[in-house]
A = this chain, B = another copy of it.
Amino acid sequence: MKILVLNAGSSSIKYQVFGMDEQQVLAGGLIDRIGEAGGEMASHHEALEQIIQRLQAAGIAGIDAIGHRVVHGGEHFKQPALIDAAVVDTIRAMIPLAPLHNPANLEGIEVAQRLFPGIPQVAVFDTAFHQTMPPVAFRYALPVELYQQHKVRRYGFHGTSHQYVAQQAAAYLQRDLADLNLITLHLGNGCSAAAIAGGKSIDTSMGMTPLEGLVMGTRCGDIDPALHFYLHRETGLSADDVESLFNKKSGLKGLCGVGDMREVQALADSGDTDAQLAEAMFAYRVKKYVGAYIAVLGRIDAVVFTGGIGEHSARIRAQVCANLQVFGVHPDLDRNTAHTAGILEFQQEAATLKLLVIPTNEELEIARSTARELLRRS
């Protein structure tokens, strides 16, 4: 079985084709700057035609199914969904919750329906894995009408990644996922932590939107909810200005001018105190979530690091794990630093609490979810 995975953004489409028997990538790539001046493709339609040509040129024929990444599934989608008209309508109805992402994801779906008529397509949602959260974790302390009438609640994101690394952790540890309590840390440009009990997400740091929680590349994460009003009064910034400030000019970039962790660390090493603070705050805030999630999980078997920073920055991992002996966190700093690629286990020999680095693979998880959904339906 061959599955094409599509991740359509507002001006880009990422694609990968998986051969599911060996779970291997047969082809993959990115078309970006769609519809932009100087870009090669005028529309998502053109871009997908181009992708089809590339696949043909690579000798790949007979796509059996298409898996689409969709950011927001609201409360409706707790699982991947075989796409039909009703599913498309529901994804459309979720646009107010993800005004930047869902329209682009939908465009990808509609173009693919036209260009691959008759091929089953499955939507895989970033939010779905977190739909197991209990109300104590997903509700905000806001008037109940805001939840009932306006769907205001914590949804959480990066669900495909958290789910994937949780499964990989269980496989690696040769344990049943149902018996494991895990904290998974997806630290990339966007960052989120999840508390996973027996394979089910019970809490996560992103909220109604991907702005809440950890310090990210350009997003602020947790702040005082009264800041908006103060900024408005003191600076006269409009709501739109503040929204863009919090999303695009904050996080690491706001603290020290650069949003990419490698650049932050290079600056910090050169003696830049703002960058030193940015790096330290990033780790400090991850550490607080680790403590909070151990408190709600009661006990944990492993902490799993993933995403660009989680997979590649030994020094962030070391900072997050420092001084947590009381929790049973005992990193072996040599093992941690020696890591280059693949799965790593870096707790000390005698420690029972595992510290793992597991490369994420959201595309593979979307392909697997697509295959599982087709099987379930057949």
Q: Are A139 and B255 in contact (CB under 8 A)?
A: yes
Q: Are A224 and B239 in contact (CB under 8 A)?
A: no
CB nearest neighbor in B for A322: B298
Copies per assembly: 2
Q: Quick check: is A335 within 8 A (CB to CB) of the other chain?
A: no
Chain B contacts for A285, CB-based, 8 A: 141
Q: Quick check: is A295 within 8 A (CB to CB) of the other chain?
A: yes
Chain B contacts for A254, CB-based, 8 A: 141-144, 146
Return A225 CB to nearest CB of chain B, in Å: 5
Q: Are A295 and B299 in contact (CB under 8 A)?
A: no
Chain B contacts for A216, CB-based, 8 A: 141
A residues 85-120 in Cβ contact with B at 8 Å: 96-97
Q: Are A224 and B252 in contact (CB under 8 A)?
A: no
Q: Which of A12-20, A23-31, A168-176, A323-331 contacts B (4 or more CB under 8 A)?
A: A323-331
CB nearest neighbor in B for A99: B233
Q: Are B234 and A96 in contact (CB under 8 A)?
A: yes
Q: Quick check: is A60 within 8 A (CB to CB) of the other chain?
A: no
Return A48 CB to nearest CB of chain B, in Å: 31
CB nearest neighbor in B for A257: B144
Question: Which residue in B141, B296, B323 is a CB contact (below 8 Å) of A291?
Answer: B296
- In the complex, how many residues of chain A place their beta carbon closer than 8 angstroms to a beta carbon of chain B? 77
Q: In the complex, A203→B196 CA distance in Å? A: 26
Q: Quick check: is A39 within 8 A (CB to CB) of the other chain?
A: no
Chain B contacts for A223, CB-based, 8 A: 140-142, 207, 212, 225
Q: Are A208 and B224 in contact (CB under 8 A)?
A: yes
CB nearest neighbor in B for A210: B226
Q: In the complex, A221→B227 CA distance in Å? A: 12
Residue from the set A229, A293, A323 with the largest chain B CB neighbour count within 10 Å: A229
Q: Which of A2-10, A276-284, A354-362 contacts B (4 or more CB under 8 A)?
A: A276-284
Q: In the complex, A60→B48 CA distance in Å? A: 87
Residue from the set A137, A209, A323, A326 with the largest chain B CB neighbour count within 10 Å: A326
Mask, A219-247, CB within 8 Å of B = 1, is 11111111111111111000100110111
Question: Which residue in B97, B224, B247 is a CB contact (below 8 Å) of A154?
Answer: B224
Chain B contacts for A377, CB-based, 8 A: none
With A141-B255, A295-B324 as contacts: A136 and B243 at CB distance below 8 Å = no
Q: Quick check: is A290 within 8 A (CB to CB) of the other chain?
A: yes
Chain B contacts for A178, CB-based, 8 A: none
Question: Which residue in B142, B144, B296, B323 is a CB contact (below 8 Å) of A284?
Answer: B296
Residue from the set A142, A250, A289 with the largest chain B CB neighbour count within 10 Å: A142
Q: Are B142 and A220 in contact (CB under 8 A)?
A: yes
Q: Quick check: is A32 within 8 A (CB to CB) of the other chain?
A: no
Q: Quick check: is A372 within 8 A (CB to CB) of the other chain?
A: no
A residues sitting closer than 8 Å to B (CB atoms) are 96-97, 135-137, 139-144, 146, 150, 152, 154, 207-209, 211-212, 215-216, 219-235, 239, 242-243, 245-247, 249-252, 254-256, 274, 277-278, 280-281, 284-285, 287-296, 298-299, 323-328
Residue pairs across A and B with Cβ atoms less than 8 A apart, 24 shown, are A140-B227, A141-B219, A141-B223, A141-B255, A141-B285, A143-B245, A143-B249, A143-B250, A143-B254, A207-B226, A207-B227, A208-B230, A209-B226, A209-B227, A211-B224, A212-B226, A223-B225, A225-B227, A226-B243, A287-B292, A292-B292, A298-B324, A299-B326, A326-B327
- A228-B239, A229-B242 known, 15 other contacts, Cβ within 8 Å: A135-B281, A136-B281, A140-B227, A141-B216, A141-B250, A141-B255, A146-B231, A152-B227, A209-B230, A212-B224, A220-B225, A288-B292, A288-B295, A298-B325, A327-B327
